[in-house]
A and B are shown apart, each in its own frame.
Chain A
Amino acid sequence: DTEVTQTPKHLVMGMTNKKSLKCEQHMGHRAMYWYKQKAKKPPELMFVYSYEKLSINESVPSRFSPECPNSSLLNLHLHALQPEDSALYLCASSQSARLGYEQYFGPGTRLTVT
């Protein structure tokens, strides 16, 4: 099973809402990632959990908050987002966060902030 699942598939939220994106993998991978992808752009890495230790892209604003309840689950908590945060949010996992291990991606959550 090489599947990474993400819920919801689509999300529309207002700027004052709090919502969460969810990601799950059952491949026994020990690294999980959140990416943000704007239209016609490549994905940009936001966060990595490697063996449940967090690494952060310092350019990501604090209104995005990741959580890794266990090695199979990854959440992204959203609070007070801005319209420019509208994007495709991709979750990925890999056997290891080290060089050489490919990442398996989920189908993404298309987020619209109104």
Chain B
Amino acid sequence: AQKITQTQPGMFVQEKEAVTLDCTYDTSDQSYGLFWYKQPSSGEMIFLIYQGSYDEQNATEGRYSLNFQKARKSANLVISASQLGDSAMYFCAMREGRLQGGSEKLVFGKGTKLTVNP
């Protein structure tokens, strides 16, 4: 069984500073991937970044980067130069098992609520 853990229920950061959101996972699979999503108060889930287990480089996407430490089974999201609009819930997710019918299932961690202060 796989498991996603986000240990920080809430984080605060000053505008323009960097912040790291933690995510650890547990899997016995050799091939897997980690996703990060952002959910503002409006409710829509926004895809931020993806890291595959065989990717040699840490994923980066604009101000988002992933600190992927495979041996530690951690995939922390780093947001650089925080903006007020970054205030939201952030979910780490990975594929876990299959549904009846065969499709893979994306499972989310409990999330971290990030608040960016002016």
Contact = CB atoms under 8 A, between A and B. Distances in A.
A56 B99 contact: yes
Contacts of A90: 43-45
A107 B111 CA distance: 18
A78 interface: no
A108 B43 CA distance: 7
Contact of A53 (B31, B32, B47, B101): B101
Given A42-B108, A55-B98, A99 B33 contact: yes
Given A99-B32, A100-B50, A45 B43 contact: no
A92 to B, nearest CB: 7
A55 B35 contact: no
B104 A99 contact: yes
B106 interface: yes
Q: What is the interface residue range for chain B against chain A?
A: 20 to 34
A31 interface: yes
Contacts of A102: 35, 47, 50
B28 to A, nearest CB: 15
Contact of A55 (B45, B50, B101, B111): B101
Most A CB atoms within 10 A — which of B44, B50, B52? B44
Most A CB atoms within 10 A — which of B42, B50, B99, B111? B99
Interface of A: 31, 37, 41-43, 45, 47-48, 50, 53-58, 88, 90, 92, 97-100, 102-108, 110
13 contacts: A42-B91, A43-B91, A45-B105, A45-B106, A47-B99, A55-B99, A55-B100, A88-B43, A99-B31, A99-B32, A100-B33, A105-B47, A108-B44
